[in-house]
A = this chain, B = another copy of it.
Amino acid sequence: MPSKPLPPITMDAVYAAPGYLFRRMQQIAVSIFMEECKAFDLTPVQYAALIAIHTHPGIDATRLSAVIAFDRSTLGSVIERLQAKDYIERKPAPEDKRIKLLYLTKSGAAILREIIPAVERAQARMLEPLKPADRKQLMGLLVQLVDLNNEASRVPLRAEDALEHLGKAG
């Protein structure tokens, strides 16, 4: 019995699919970031981790993963690399032997200060081809969509929740 023919499949359908466009845009974004920041030898992920540690000194790895929506198992190696570059340090928590607290070193604070202009150039370049009004529109829609789809990924973003357990008044 001959199999039914496939429905008409075109690459154009792939090129217009949301999943394909998100993947492609991510590739492009990383590429632009690395180009603008190549003098600093920092990846987008490492940069985000540094920012988060700067913003939340003494955070632990699990909470860090929630704050930047990274996978915990991926984060381990990211932290290792940042530590090897002397941008962060880990101190054991006195009250919980399982936890290691993360702090920016002076080198870490310094590179953050230096890299920020390059990162901002990169972010601007990603949207540059669009008209300013379209950039705003796109960002607005993306912020909405990411927020509304938050629970769909393995590591949903938990920005405030994560901080409630850090010892501050919650």
List A residues at the B interface (Cβ < 8 Å).
3-4, 6-7, 9-11, 14-33, 35, 44, 48, 51-52, 54-55, 67-69, 106, 109-110, 112-113, 116, 122-123, 125-127, 129-130, 134, 137-139, 141-146, 148-149, 152-155, 157, 159
A160 CB to closest chain B CB, in angstroms? Answer: 10
Are A113 and B6 closer than 8 Å at their CB atoms? Answer: yes
Are A138 and B145 closer than 8 Å at their CB atoms? Answer: yes
Q: Closest B-chain residue to A156, C-beta based?
A: B28
- Which residues of B have CB within 8 Å of A112? 6, 9
A168 CB to closest chain B CB, in angstroms? Answer: 15
Prevailing SS type, chain A contact patch: helix
Cα A4 to Cα B116 with chains together (Å): 14
- Which residues of B have CB within 8 Å of A145? 25, 126-127, 129-130, 138
Cα A165 to Cα B154 with chains together (Å): 42
- Which residues of B have CB within 8 Å of A154? 27, 31
Known: A134-B141, A138-B141, A141-B134. A146 touches B6 (CB 8 A): no
Cα A110 to Cα B69 with chains together (Å): 37
Known: A129-B149, A145-B129. A113 touches B26 (CB 8 A): no
